[in-house]
Amino acid sequence: MILVGLDRDPHEANLPHAFDRAAELAHSVLCFEDLDALVGEGPSLSQFLNLLDGLSPLAGVLVIATTNRPDRIDPAIAKRPSRFDRVYFIPEPDRALRASCLERELGAEVGAGIVSRLASKTDAYSIAFLKELVLQARLSAIRRGEERVS
């Protein structure tokens, strides 16, 4: 697997290099995480659209993009056919899924009652936020001189 890192500043992002490298390595997947933050307005949007539309051939390249803010994606990207053919909405995890995630992350450190209580108090938390919650709890325990999350 080859990962091509892109700077978060859209004015410095090396988008052509990422697309060229993906084409060289085809069959490949080119994934843009947090597209809303990467591609804004102006030159970076125009450059991204030109690259996405395939002025250079992209045979064998699957382009995927993620966002937590679909409302910030320019309609020229999100609404035009053939740029991104499929849109998948992944909802926030329900209570049972949050409990399962917390159990996996904390199960050996805390009891089932605490996991259940945390799951009920974390409505609208994504899996990433739950992991961050656990990380912060562990760091707090370390600062208190404790070996386990309490």
Q: Tell me, yes or no, whether 58 lies in a domain.
A: yes
> Do 105 and 56 fall within a single domain?
no
Three-state SS for the chain is CCCCCCCCCCCCCCHHHHHHHHHHCCCEEEEECCHHHHCCCCHHHHHHHHHHCCCCCCCCEEEEECCCCHHHCCHHHHCCCCCCCCCCCCCCCCHHHHHHHHHHHHCCCCCHHHHHHHHHHCCCCCHHHHHHHHHHHHHHHHHCCCCCCC
Can you give the pTM of this predicted structure? 0.66
The pLDDT assigned to 68 comes to 84
Per residue in 119-136, pLDDT tens? 999 999 999 999 999 999
Q: Tell me, yes or no, whether 83 lies in a domain.
A: no
Q: Tell me, yes or no, whether 90 lies in a domain.
A: no
Enclosing domain of residue 57: 15-78
> Do 61 and 99 fall within a single domain?
no
Q: Tell me, yes or no, whether 30 lies in a domain.
A: yes
